[in-house]
Amino acid sequence: MNKSVPAAFFVAAILVASPGRAQQTPGAMQQAPAGTRAIHHLVYRFGYNTKATKAGNGTGTTTVDFGAAAPDGGVMVTATDSWWNTVRPRQSSTCELHPNGGVTCAQPPYSLSPIQVAIVPLLGRHYFSALAAGPNAVWQQQYNVRATFFPAAATGFAGQVYTYNCAYSLNGKGTVPNNGQPVVLVHQTGAMKQVGGRYIKVNQKANFLFDPRLKLPVFVDEELTFVPQVSVNKYTVELKLIQY
């Protein structure tokens, strides 16, 4: 059964692009035990320093599989990037996703790619819960990401494991139509700050389209800038949900 996700919109002079059509795959959403989150298999099309299209340099797909619930209320997720025109996907990363968006990668390769760090925290079940109060909600989101980090798309995060304190301000900008169904435009600004090491700060600004029916972000457009400058000082990530 096909599910539509938003077309292109200009809203308050903010450009967002079309996520195309997302398809629900039979068996992709399974019934979970009472009190736990349903298990999902999600596929996002991505663009790294380019638009998220079906083919071309810097494009590909990222899958996120939700596994068992963790004792502390989180859930284990496995994320895998498949780059366009490559034979094999990169090594999968299995980490715990906390309800507030925090991520802890406690098993090899202890990593998230730049693509994955743009989407995995947003899948925390409480990340967008403030929108229950209305599509113009304003809220703060704070959490930690513990993983290896290096801003290079080809290798993802690599090196020593560090904790990054993440703090963001989010503003709901109202609803936009999606085939007669509303989705919410959300603007986010903030930063990831490394604890220890070089004390790298990653300034971020992003626009999301959040589908309140699916309780998922269906479109992400994010820009990240590093202070002090590192080998890759600035990059953009665009993601579109294409399967759930």
pLDDT tens per residue across span 27-52? 333 334 444 445 589 999 999 999 99
Angle subtended at Cα 64 by Cα 32 and Cα 149, rounded to the nearest 5 degrees: 130
- How far is 149 from 161, CA to CA, in rounded Å? 7
Among 54-68, 173-187, 207-221, which is the least confidently predicted range? 173-187
User: Domain residues for 170?
Assistant: 2-243
- How far is 220 from 16, CA to CA, in rounded Å? 8
pLDDT digits (tens, 9 = 90+) for 194-207: 998 778 889 999 99
Is residue 48 within a helix (H) or strand (E), and if so which, with residue range?
strand 41-48
Q: Phi first, then psi: what are they for 115, rounded to 5°? A: -70, -45
- How far is 166 from 97, CA to CA, in rounded Å? 14
Residue 153 has pLDDT above 70, yes or no: no
Counting the structural domains of the chain, the total is 1
Q: Compute the Cα dihedral for 126, 162, 235, 228 and give only its sign.
A: positive
Cis peptide before 33 (omega within 30 of 0): no
- Could you say which DSSP state residue 107 is in? S
- Could you say which DSSP state residue 111 is in? B
How many angstroms separate the Cα of 108 from the Cα of each of 2, 113, 171? Answer: 36, 13, 36
Among 50-54, 56-60, 192-196, which is the least confidently predicted range? 192-196
What is the average per-residue pLDDT within 147-164?
Answer: 65
More confident residue, 137 or 11: 137
Q: What is the mean pLDDT of the chain?
A: 82
Q: Phi first, then psi: what are they for 199, rounded to 5°? A: 55, 45
- How far is 156 from 89, CA to CA, in rounded Å? 12
- How far is 211 from 184, CA to CA, in rounded Å? 6
Is the separation of the CB atoms in 79 and 112 below 8 Å? yes
pLDDT digits (tens, 9 = 90+) for 99-137: 999 999 998 888 889 899 999 999 999 999 999 999 999
What is the average per-residue pLDDT within 203-226?
Answer: 95
Q: Phi first, then psi: what are they for 127, rounded to 5°? A: -60, -45
Q: Which amino acid is at 29?
A: M
Portion of the chain with pLDDT greater than 70, in percent: 77
- With cut-offs at 50, 70 and 90, classify the pLDDT of residue 26: very low
